[in-house]
Structure 1
Amino acid sequence: MKVTQTRKERERSERQQRIIDTAREIAETDGWDAVTVRKLAERIEYSQPVLYSHFAGKDAIVSAVAEQGCAELAAALGDLVDTAGTPEAALAVVVDAYLAFARDSAALYDAIFVLPTELRFGPDAPQALKDAFAVLARAFAPFAPPDDAETFTEVAWSTLHGLATLDRGGRLRPDFRAQRADILVRGWTARAGR
């Protein structure tokens, strides 16, 4: 009985992951408007009721994609922070990597930070969201005083998000990306007297 249950659980988990992966693939090539339960069902050759047995609808699928994306972002940024030699270097690489992630993984970035989802940050957030915020906080905390590190991180993150959104929307000059990132880093480090 346990073997059968374990196999069923594994198969269910694999189906769920296939739905998430396929939604992400469609979104990356055709945009999130192209991701529908019907299109997913056709692409992965499951019936719509099977998809609905895993996810209540598109928002739930986007939420699952966003949660996995947060885990990926946290891992990538965490590795950069861990290998940077100084707080200034960590801040610079996190800023560059975050802005590159927003440009290079547009559909995933939108799932995490732009589209409506069931996910909420804060104390009750899924662990992947907490981990992503914690990595950002590790990069920004050395520059926060005299302010609270988490509040400073929220403001700095909001600034990065705004810059990423304006850049992706074609509202900023693409030739000046590096200079904008440098201005941010210099401003935050100068604030801390570094």
Structure 2
Amino acid sequence: MSIVKRKARERAARYELILNTALELAAAEGWEAVTTRRLAALIQYSQPVLYSHFKGKAEIMAAIAMRGFEQLATELKNAAGSADALHAACTAYLQFAASQPVVYEAMFVSPTELLFASEQTPTALRDAFDALVTALGPDQEDLVFTAEVLWSALHGMVVLSQSKRLPVDGDRDRLDVLIRKFRRSC
């Protein structure tokens, strides 16, 4: 293996180490605990090495968010192939948020420089949103606007559930009510 290939492989491994360590730290102590100084110490590299990969914490969170959007888009697209695409997509969204709360927070709760609803919106974000649009079905009026309202409702359910402001035992019933309301408005 050439030196160039080895250095590229080592750089890619460091990149992954930074992201994985940031996720572990955020899961254990919250995103506020994630600092470049703390990450550098945990991965046992200097801060300049960390900065050679990311300009700071915001870029680390954006990279984690982008991966989350890629995964969410895949899960939503897979759901779109089911007999009840709307129910499957909404369920997939809620399950994603429940199974990866730290990633979800980086995607949707914490401040980010990722652009939503613009010409510069990254493909992964657009794909995830487009999967929600598709799940609504072709007969929906104002499809994009309706998908934004659906997304808002799902996000509200996630945040209220994660903050324990809604009883967990009502999650399925709330989802059923939401889906009925969207079907009725179609």
Task: Give the TM-score normalised by structure 1.
Answer: 0.87
Distance 1:43 1:159, change over 3 A: same
In the alignment, which of 151, 169, 177 is matched to residue 183 of structure 1? 177
Query: Is the contact made by 1:141 and 1:152 (CA closer than 8 Å) also made in structure 2?
Result: no
- Structure 1 gaps of 5+ residues are none
Distance 1:54 1:163, change over 3 A: same
In the alignment, which of 116, 130, 138 is matched to residue 134 of structure 2? 138
Partner of 2:16: 17
Q: Percent identity?
A: 43
In structure 2, C-alpha distance between the alignment counterparts of 1:7 and 1:141, rounded to whole Å:
48
Matched, 1:153 2:147: yes
Matched, 1:110 2:105: yes
Deviations for 1:38-73, whole angstroms, at most 9, x for unmatched residues? 221122111111001111111111111101111111
Whichever residue aligns with residue 167 of structure 1, its letter is: S
In structure 2, C-alpha distance between the alignment counterparts of 1:8 and 1:130, rounded to whole Å:
33
- For the residue of structure 1 that corresponds to 2:138, the secondary structure is helix
Give me the CA root mean square deviation: 1.8
In structure 2, C-alpha distance between the alignment counterparts of 1:143 and 1:112, rounded to whole Å:
30
Query: Is the contact made by 1:143 and 1:191 (CA closer than 8 Å) also made in structure 2?
Result: no
Task: Give the TM-score normalised by structure 2.
Answer: 0.91
Matched, 1:119 2:114: yes
Whichever residue aligns with residue 140 of structure 1, its letter is: L
In structure 1, C-alpha distance between the alignment counterparts of 2:139 and 2:38, rounded to whole Å:
47
Superposition deviation, residue 6 in structure 1:
4.2
Spell out structure 1 runs of 4+ moving beyond 3 A. 3-10
Superposition deviation, residue 124 in structure 1:
0.7
- Structure 2 gaps of 5+ residues are none
In the alignment, which of 154, 165, 171 is matched to residue 171 of structure 1? 165
Superposition deviation, residue 103 in structure 1:
2.2
Superposition deviation, residue 144 in structure 1:
2.5
Partner of 1:36: 35
In structure 2, C-alpha distance between the alignment counterparts of 1:18 and 1:57, rounded to whole Å:
15
In structure 2, C-alpha distance between the alignment counterparts of 1:109 and 1:180, rounded to whole Å:
20
Query: Is the contact made by 1:141 and 1:150 (CA closer than 8 Å) also made in structure 2?
Result: no
Matched, 1:65 2:64: yes
Query: Is the contact made by 1:67 and 1:128 (CA closer than 8 Å) also made in structure 2?
Result: yes
Distance 1:116 1:9, change over 3 A: same
Partner of 1:93: 88
